Amino acid sequence: MTHFGVVAIVIGLMLFIAHASSDTFASLRQAGAELSPAVRSTIFLAVLVGFASKAGAVPLHAWLPRAHPEAPSQVSALMSAAMVNLGVYGIVRVGFDLLGGGPRWWWLLVLVVGAVSAVYGILQAAMTSDLKRLLGYSTTENLGLVLIGVGAAGVFASAGAHVLAGLALTAALLHVINHAAFKTLLFLSAGSVLHATGLRDLDGLGGLRARMPVTTGLFAVGALAASALPLGNAFVSEWLLLQSLVHGLPVSGVATAITMPAAVAVVALTAGLAVATFVKAFGIGFLARPRSSAAERATESPVSMRVGMGLAALACVALAVVPAMVMPGLARAAGAADSMLGEPAVRGAVTLRLAGFAGSLSPLLVTAALLVGVAAVVAGLRLATVRRTRHGRLTHRARPTRRDARLWDCGAGPLTARMEYTATSFAEPLQRVFDDVLEPEQDVDVTHLQESRYLVDSIEYRRRVPDRIERRLYQPLLAFARAWGQAGRQLATGSVHRYLGYGFYAVAGLLVVLAVTR
Amino acid sequence: MGVARGLLRRIRATGRIAEPAPAAAPEGLPEGVGDLAGSVQVRHVDAGSCNGCEIEIGQAFGPVYDAERYGARLVASPRHADALLVTGPVTRNMAEPLRRTYEAVPGPKRVVAVGDCARNCGVFAGAYGVVGAVGDVVPVDVEVPGCPPPPDAIVAALRGLTGR
Amino acid sequence: MTGVTGALGAVLQVAVIAVGSPYLVGAMRQVRARLEGRAGPDVAQPWRDLRKLLRKESLTPHGTSEVFRLTPAVLVASTVLVAAVAPFLTTASPLDPVADLFAVVALLTLGTVALALAGIDTGTAFGGMGASREMTITALVEPTLLVAIFALSVPVGSTNLGAIVNSTLHDPARVVSPVSLLAAVALAVAIIAETGRLPVDNPSTHLELTMVHEAMVLEYAGPDLALVEWASAMRLTVFLGLLANLFAPWGIATGSGLAGLVLAVIVFAVKVGLLGLLLAVGEVFLAKLRLFRVPELLAGSFLLALLAVAASFFLA
Ligand code: SF4
C-alpha cells in the first residue's frame, strides 16, 4: 500500500517538476504560481493521495493497524511519531507552500478525509482488543484530527481569514507534536507489557498495576493525553482546534456553515469515543485482576525501558502544562508554510489567549488547581475521620478507619477473573450502537449432549469486527490484481518464441501508431 | 400526553396517603442509638423466608407506612448499608452468604431479625435444611416478632435505629 | 474592588454549591415522594446521610488500587473546580479566563472517567458493566454538548462562559430566539444523560442489571461513598446551574458590591431549585429507557443542537 502511496507522490511531484525549471523548493514555488488550475489540482490530488496513505488516513490506512502489531514497539513508536507526521508535512508543504493555497474544495476534501479518518479510526480502536492494533487505529484517528485542522486552515485561508487559518494550522501542528509524544509513550508501554507478558490481547491482561507499577503509571499518563482530557497534552490542541472551528462559522459561504458544525460534531464524537477507548485500554489492561496466567506472572520491565518511557512521559507532561513553550516554533512553522499565517495565533505563557478572538485557557492553572483540590479533599477527609474517633462517638468498639474486605460477590463464592468484564464486553454496547457502521460478525455454536437436545454440552461464541473499508476496498483490488496476475501467467509461458513474437508485435504496433498520428 | 394527564389527575385525586406518624419513637431501643444519627440505609437479606415477611417489608416502605420519612432507605449493596433486614430461618445455602453480607457491611452496623422465623425458626424449626435462627449466624440487635410482623412493627424497629 | 468581590464571589459559588447541592437532592426526593402520595424524608436527609457515612469505616476491597481510592477525591475536586470557574453567582470571577465552556465540559468528563476506572478497578462484573455503559453514554453525549455550546457561542463570538452570560444579559431578546431554544432543549437532554437521571438512568434503582451510575459505586463504603454521593449531588447542581445561567442569567452579580452577590445567591437558589423541581416532576411521569434506546434519544438531541447551529447561521 505504501508503495502505491509513493507512486502517487512521485507522479504528482514529477508532474510538478516537469512544469518547473528545476526541483528546488524556490523554483517549484515559482512554478506553482503559474500553473493552470487543472494541473495544480491534479498535482495536489496525487500528492494528497500519496501523503494521506503515509499519514494513515482512511481509506488508505490499511497498513497501519497491520504493521503496528507486528513491528517491534520502538519501531511502532517511531512509525507513529515520525512517519505519519511526514504525511502531514507533505500535504502542508505542497498544498500551502509550493502550490500557494488553492481552491476551497481541495481543503474541504482534506477536511472530509480527516473527519472520516478520525471517526472511523477511533471506532475501530474502540472495538479492537489488541492493544497495539488499538494504538495503530488511534494514530489514524489523531491524524484525522490533524487533517481536519489542516483542511480548516486551508478553507479559511482561501476565504481570506488568515488569523483564523493560522489558528487552525497551529492547532493541527500542535496536535502533531502532542500525538508524537503520547503515542511514543503508549507504544513503548505497550512494548513493556508485551515484554513482560507476551500478550497484546487486552482480554488476557489486567492486574498489571500491582505487578508493573511504573509501566502502569506511565501508560496512564499517555492514556489521559490520548483521551484529550484536561491534564493531558492533547486537550490543549483539541481545544485550539475546536476554537478555530467555532470561530470559523461566520467566515463566509454556506459550505463553511455546513462544514464547521459537522466538523465540531466529528471532533466531539471522536473525543468521546477516544475517552471510552482509552478507559478500556487502561482500565481493562492494567487495573482489576489478571485475566491470564501470563499477566499474573508479569514483572516490571528493565530500567532501560522505563527510562525510555519516562522521557516520553516527561515530554507529554511538559506539553500539557506549558504548551506555550512550543508556540513560537509553531508560529514560525505556520509562517514557513504560508507567509500570511506567520502571526502567532496564540499568546500568553500561563494562560493561552487566542489572538484576534476572545478565548483563553490556562492548562497550568487547571492542572495545579485539580492537583491541589485532590490533595485538599484527601486531607479534609482524613481530618473528618480523625475528629470522629476523638469525639468518641463510636464508643462500643474501637475500629480502624480502613479495613480490608473481600469483594462484594453478592454472597456467592469468590469472584474469579473469568467473571470480570473484558475488553470485548466493555466495547459491546458501543458496538451495538454503531452496528450499521461496523457490521460485526458473530456466530454462536451450541453443541448438545447426545442424550437430549435440551442438555447443552458447550456453547461457542465468536465475534469479530472486521475492518469494513479494508474488506470492501482492498479485497476487490487484491482480487483484481490477482486476476491480472493469472492472465499475465497465460501470456508468459516461458517460450522464447513467444516473447520474440511479443516484441515484434509491439514494435509493429508502435510503428503503425506513429504512421497514423504523424 | 393522555397518559401523563391521566396520571396527573390520579396524583391529584389521591393526595397524600401516608398515615400520620405515631407520636413518640417507640421504646425498647437498643443501646448505641445515635450512632447512625437519623439515617439508616437498609439492605434486605432473605435467608430462606416464605416471602410473607417480604410482602410486609414492601408495605413498610410503601406509601402508607412510608418508612423513608424516618430516614430509612433500602439500598442495593451491603457496602452502602448500615443495617441488615434479615427474614426467614437461615437455610443451609444461605448461612454463608448471610455471613458474607454481614462482613461486607462497614461498621457500625445493625442487624434486624424480621419475623418469627428469623427469631427462632418459627414454623420451620427443626426442618432438615434449616441451620438455625438468624442469631445463630450473625449477631442480632433488634427483633421484630410476628408471622409475618405487621408493617408498623417493622417501621417501629427501623425508627428505633434512626432515632427519629 | 471588583477583583475582591469577584474572588469573594468565586469562593461563595463553591460554598453555595457545596452546601446547597445535598439540599437540592433532598428537595427533589421530597417532591417525588409527595407526588407518589408519600410523606418522604425532609430536605436535610441527604446531609444526614452524608454525616453518617463520614462516621463509618472505609473498606478496601481486595485487589483494588489507588485508582479506586483516589477517585472520590478526583470527582469532588473536578466538580469544585468547575463550581469555582463557571459564572454561577458572579461574572467577575478572576478565574474566568482559566477555563471556558469546553474546558468545563472536559473537566466534568474527567470525573466520569475516574469513576468508570474505579468501577473497572474493582474487578467485579457490575463495576465493569457500569463503566462500559457510562462510557458509551458519555461518548454519545459529547457531540450534543459541544455542538450546543457551539450554537451558544456563535452570536457571542466566544466560548468563554463569562462572555456568553454577559452578552445574554445585554441582549435579553436572544433568549427566545430559535437558536437559544433549540440549544436549551438539546443541552437539557444531554444534561439528563450526564447526570444519570430518568429516563437514561434511574438514580434510585436497586436492580443491578439496570444500573449505570450506581453499578460503578457498588463497592464504595463509608467516607468514600460520602464523597461520591456529595460529588454527584454537586455535579447535578453544577449542570442545572449552567443550564439556568446560560439561558437565563438574570440576577447574577456583574459588578462589585456585596448586595448584588447576596441577591445572586438567592436568585441562583431559586433558579436551580425550579429546574430541579421540574426534573423531579418530570421523572414521576417517565420510565427508564432500555439502554439501547438511549442512543436514539441522544441522536435526537444531537439533531436539535445541529439545527440550533444551522439556525444561528441562517437566521443571523
Ligand atoms: S415469619 Fe412467617 S411470614 Fe415471615 S418468613 Fe417466617 S413463616 Fe414466613
Query: What is the DSSP code string of C174-232?
Result: GGGSHHHHHHHHHHHHHHHHHTT-TTT--TT---GGG-SHHHHTTT--HHHHHHHHHHH
With a cut of 0.85, is the ipTM above it?
Answer: yes
A213: closest CA of chain B, how far (Å): 28
pLDDT band at B24 (very low <50, low <70, confident <90, very high): low
Q: Is the CB of B87 under 6 A from ligand 1?
A: yes
Q: Decide: residue C1, CB within 10 A, 0-12 exposed, 13-18 middle, 19+ buried.
A: exposed
Q: What is the pLDDT of residues A32-54, one digit of tens each?
A: 777 777 887 888 888 888 888 87
Q: What is the average pLDDT across B82-86? A: 91
- Cβ–Cβ gap A397/B98 under 8 Å: no
- Cβ–Cβ gap C58/A373 under 8 Å: no
Q: Where are the beta strands (DSSP E) in chain C?
A: 58-61
pLDDT band at A278 (very low <50, low <70, confident <90, very high): very high
pLDDT at A361 over 90: no
Q: Is A414 left (phi over 0), alpha (psi -120 to 50) or beta?
A: beta
Beta bridge mates, C59: A403
Q: Decide: residue A505, CB within 10 A, 0-12 exposed, 13-18 middle, 19+ buried.
A: exposed
User: Under a CB-based contact definition with an 8 Å cutoff, are residues C236 and C21 in contact?
Assistant: yes
Question: Domain tally for chain C?
Answer: 1
Residue C161 lies in domain? 2-314
Helix (H) or strand (E) holding A372: helix A363-390
C-alpha cell at A171: 492547532
Lowest mean pLDDT among A245-249, A284-288, B158-162, C119-123: A245-249
Q: Is the CB of B143 under 6 A from ligand 1?
A: no
**Chain C stretch 42-71, residues whose beta carbon is closer than 8 A to a beta carbon of chain A:** 54-55, 57-63, 65, 67, 70
Beta bridge mates, A332: none
Q: Is A253 left (phi over 0), alpha (psi -120 to 50) or beta?
A: left
B35: closest CA of chain A, how far (Å): 7
User: Under a CB-based contact definition with an 8 Å cutoff, are residues A214 and A193 in contact?
Assistant: no
Tell me how far the alpha carbon of residue B70 lies from the centroid of ligand 1, in angstroms: 25
Phi and psi of B120, rounded to 5°? -150, 30
State the CB neighbour count (10 A cutoff) for residue A93: 18
The pLDDT value given to residue A50: 81
Question: Of A231, A239, A229, A226, whose CA–CA distance to A345 is shortest?
Answer: A239
The pLDDT value given to residue A396: 40
Q: Decide: residue A394, CB within 10 A, 0-12 exposed, 13-18 middle, 19+ buried.
A: middle
Which of A227, A279, A373 is closest, CB to CB, to C80? A373
pLDDT at A398 over 60: no
Q: What is the average pLDDT across A239-249? A: 83
DSSP state of A300: P
Burial per residue of B109-133, b for 16 or more beta-carbon CB atoms within 10 angstroms, e otherwise: bbbbbbbbbbbbbbebeeeeebbeb
C-alpha cell at A416: 474469579
Higher per-residue confidence, A449 vs A101: A449
Question: Of A246, C88, C244, A234, whose CA–CA distance to C96 is shortest?
Answer: C88
Tell me how far the alpha carbon of residue B147 lies from the centroid of ligand 1, in angstroms: 5
C58: helix, coil or strand?
A: strand
- Cβ–Cβ gap B107/C57 under 8 Å: yes
* pLDDT per residue rounded down to tens, chain C (316 residues): 456 777 888 888 899 999 999 999 999 989 988 888 888 888 888 998 888 888 888 888 888 888 888 899 999 999 998 888 888 888 877 777 777 888 888 888 999 999 999 988 888 888 888 899 889 888 888 888 888 888 888 878 788 888 888 888 888 877 778 888 888 888 888 888 888 787 777 777 777 777 778 888 888 888 889 999 999 999 999 999 998 888 888 878 777 677 888 888 888 899 999 999 998 888 888 877 777 888 888 888 888 888 888 887 777 6
Q: What is the average pLDDT across A47-73? A: 78
Q: What is the pLDDT of residues B99-108, one digit of tens each?
A: 999 988 987 8
Question: Of A227, A293, A288, A222, whose CA–CA distance to A423 is shortest?
Answer: A288
**pTM, entire model:** 0.88
pLDDT band at B55 (very low <50, low <70, confident <90, very high): very high
Burial per residue of A194-227, b for 16 or more beta-carbon CB atoms within 10 angstroms, e otherwise: bbbbebbbbbbbbbbbebbebbbbbbbbbbbbbb
Q: Where are the beta strands (DSSP E) in chain B?
A: 40-46, 72-74, 83-87, 90-91, 110-114, 130-132, 142-144
Mean pLDDT score of chain A: 81
* Cis, peptide link before residue B108, omega less than 30° from 0: yes
pLDDT band at A386 (very low <50, low <70, confident <90, very high): low
User: Under a CB-based contact definition with an 8 Å cutoff, are residues C136 and C212 in contact?
Assistant: no
Overall CATH class of domain B38-162: alpha beta
Helix (H) or strand (E) holding A388: helix A363-390
The pLDDT value given to residue A394: 46
Q: What is the pLDDT of residues B5-17, one digit of tens each?
A: 787 887 777 777 7
Question: Of C5, C13, C44, C10, whose CA–CA distance to C238 is shortest?
Answer: C13
The chains found to touch B (3+ Cβ pairs under 8 angstroms) are A, C
